Amino acid sequence: MLRPKNVILIDDDLDDHEIFDIALKDADPSATCTYFVSAKEALDKIELLKPAPDYIFLDLNMPGVSGIQFLEIIKKKNAIAGIPVVVYSTSILPLHRQQITTLGAFDYFTKPSSHGELTRILKKIIHQ
């Protein structure tokens, strides 16, 4: 039996926390998720998390520290730079796509419009 997955979601939208939570439970009932409403809050606390998260799901458009900035910062923190970051945003401009890849994001996908689709995507990412 594999150790239960532990992920975090950084998104300023509380509805998306809820949608993500439902989809994650459907994708992997054993998985747990820690939620942050801002990148700043996440940066302050990620290193304190035990065990360290398996994946970071990251929204791009957030007030304060943006998703892109978060990526830049986290990749310079040796202790947590290795955690795969999956960008999870409403729209990803071609310009951002390039930036995200250059900054070392693990994967990216646009927020789907159905619960089923999100479940499918999460299942795929977590179990690969």
Contacts with another protein, residue ranges (CB under 8 A)? 13, 15, 19, 22, 61, 90-91, 93, 111-116, 118
Minimum CB–partner distance for residue 53 and another protein (Å): 24
Measured from the CB atom, the residue of 53 and 89 that comes closer to another protein is: 89
Give the residue from 21, 29, 39, 53 showing the smallest Cα distance to 118. Answer: 21
Give the residue from 124, 92, 121, 87 showing the smallest Cα distance to 105. Answer: 87
Contact between 83 and 55 (Cβ < 8 Å)? yes
Minimum CB–partner distance for residue 51 and another protein (Å): 30
CB atoms within 10 A of CB 9: 23
- The CA-based angle 32-72-11, given to 5 degrees, is 40
Q: What is the DSSP string of 17-40?
A: HHHHHHHHHHH-TT-EEEEESSHH
Measured from the CB atom, the residue of 13 and 54 that comes closer to another protein is: 13
Measured from the CB atom, the residue of 10 and 43 that comes closer to another protein is: 10
Minimum CB–partner distance for residue 89 and another protein (Å): 8
Minimum CB–partner distance for residue 15 and another protein (Å): 6
Measured from the CB atom, the residue of 90 and 101 that comes closer to another protein is: 90
